[in-house]
Amino acid sequence: METVIGLTAIAAAILIAFGALGTAVGFGLLGGKFLEGVARQPELAPQLQVKMFIVAGLLDAVPMIGVGIGLFFVFANPFIGMLAK
Amino acid sequence: MAGNSTEYIKHHLTNLTYGELPAGYVRHGEHGQEVLTEATWTIAHNGDEAQAMGFKAIHLDSMGWSLGLGLLFCLIFRAVAKRATSGIPGGLQNFVEIIVEFVDTNVRDTFHGKSSLIAPLALTIFCWIFLMNFMDLIPVDFIPSAAQALGLHYMKVVPSTDPNITLGMSISVFLLVLFYSIKMKGVGGFAGELALNPFNPKNPVLKAFFIPINLILEGVTLIAKPVSLGLRLFGNMYAGELIFILIALLPFGLQWMLSVPWAIFHILVITLQAFIFMMLTIVYLSMASEHH
């Protein structure tokens, strides 16, 4: 029982950590490219900003799903239910 | 409020489920156990009962709040549209016009086909999802406490934290994408697109060899669209709501220090997620409507 809980905690931590890592790097690259583009052509700033937010939303999806699954395992762990039966 | 933290969290994460409990199910209540002699349609008293209800159960709170908010959006916009003046607009009309113009600009820039359905669809998606997400900013215990006073033990007021709602919307968009694909390209064209991209050699033998590989790749892309669309909104809203619930467990002074910055950030997240859902809908429908 303790093993299952401990391993679930580690699994949730890995889920959230790798999602955060990937997204952080992705957002950094995205922001950097945006700033470069705006520095080259300042008149495109509003358009580029809109498109940046669109890509940011797409990037956000996968770690959010990971966080959702991780939190699900922490608070409503199905493995414990399986153990009881 | 329940005794310990896990109970509190679980209580706030449970939907008000209405469904059929099978005959012979044992209900554990405050008045002792009750064995059901026949299948009864009732509201679930806890998560296990909701599980036992199976597929035919319905989340009354999500359905109620989502329909109510949709109705609110339609009524307000319709009232403004009927009383619209071409002179200097008043406050509400100005606000509605800003939103409609915003959606119209985005559709005009992104959608390359001809359809009179896309802009109203985009407007509905944006406003409806924004209203549903906005419910997340209401303090966690306000409405559930009021519902408890009325006898409803569970009440989740943010419909977009229910994957049923978000996946329902994304699957509807997916069905529209399929409909437009087949309407614009024909069944043969649509199947051809799935089977002949990205590998399309000239040699007919090689072409036949690559068709299964293409189908797998294109199939994954096709299915990933509605799944990611629905789960993106669900994941963002569920995580946001969960953090609000966790902040609610802290002592009172600490609550304010944490919840104010998180709520301000959440305003951005709400609007962004509604905008992303709308933009992706427009982009997917645009890709479905283009023909070579």
Looking at residue B2, what is its pLDDT?
A: 44
> ipTM score here?
0.71
Q: Do A64 and B232 touch (CB under 8 A)?
A: yes
Interface membership of A53 toward B (CB under 8 Å): yes
Nearest partner of B158 among B174, B134, B182, judged by Cα: B134
Residues B216 and B94 in one domain: yes
Residues B160 and B112 in one domain: yes
Q: Distance (Å, rounded) from C-alpha B34 to C-alpha B19?
A: 17
Structural domains counted in chain A: 1
Is residue B5 pLDDT above 90, yes or no?
no
pLDDT at B64: 92
Contact B57, B17 (CB under 8 A): yes
Is B249 in CB contact (< 8 Å) with chain A? Answer: no
Question: In total, how many domains does chain B have?
Answer: 2
CA dihedral (B42, B46, B52, B55) in degrees, to 10, reads 70
Do B122 and B16 have their domain in common? Answer: no
**Do the Cβ atoms of B231 and A61 come within 8 Å?**
yes
Q: Does the structure show a pLDDT above 70 at B3?
A: no
B43 and B140 assigned to the same domain: no
Rounded to an integer, the average pLDDT of B124-151 is 90
Inter-chain contact A76–B10, Cβ cutoff 8 Å?
yes
CATH number at residue A18: 1.20.20.10
Q: In this structure, are B156 and B195 located in the same domain? A: yes
Q: Tell whether A71 lies on the interface with B, counting CB pairs under 8 A.
A: yes
pLDDT digits (tens, 9 = 90+) for B189-199: 888 888 887 77
Mean pLDDT of B38-63: 82
Asked if residue B66 and residue B21 are part of one domain, the reply reads no
Query: Quick one: B11 and B117 in the same domain?
Result: no
Domain region containing A33? 2-84
Paired sense of beta strands B40-43 and B17-21, if any: antiparallel
B94-122 pLDDT, tens digit per residue, is 999 999 999 999 999 888 878 888 999 99
State the distance between the two ends of chain A, measured CA to CA, in whole angstroms: 12
**Mean of pLDDT values over B90-95:** 87
Please give the residue of chain B at the shortest CA–CA distance from A65: B235
Claim to verify: residue B9 and residue B80 sit in the same structural domain: no
Banded pLDDT at B1 (limits 50, 70, 90): very low
Is B125 found in the same domain as B22? no
Contacts of A65 in chain B (CB under 8 A): 231-232, 235
DSSP B98: H
A68 at interface of B, judged by CB pairs closer than 8 A:
yes
A14 touches chain B (CB under 8 A): no
Of A57, A65, A75, Cβ closest to residue B276: A57
Does B48 share its domain with B148? no
Catalytic residue list contains A28: no
Maximum Cα interatomic distance, chain B, rounded to a whole number of Å: 76
Facing residue for A61 by CB, picked from B228, B238, B242: B228
For residue B245, the enclosing domain spans: 60-289
Over residues B148-186, the pLDDT tens digits come to 888 888 888 899 999 899 999 999 999 999 998 898 888
Which of B128, B154, B14, B22 lies closest to B68, judged by CA? B128
Are B47 and B76 found together in one domain?
no
Out of B6, B236, B275, closest to residue A60 by CB:
B236
* Whether residue B207 is found in the same domain as residue B224: yes
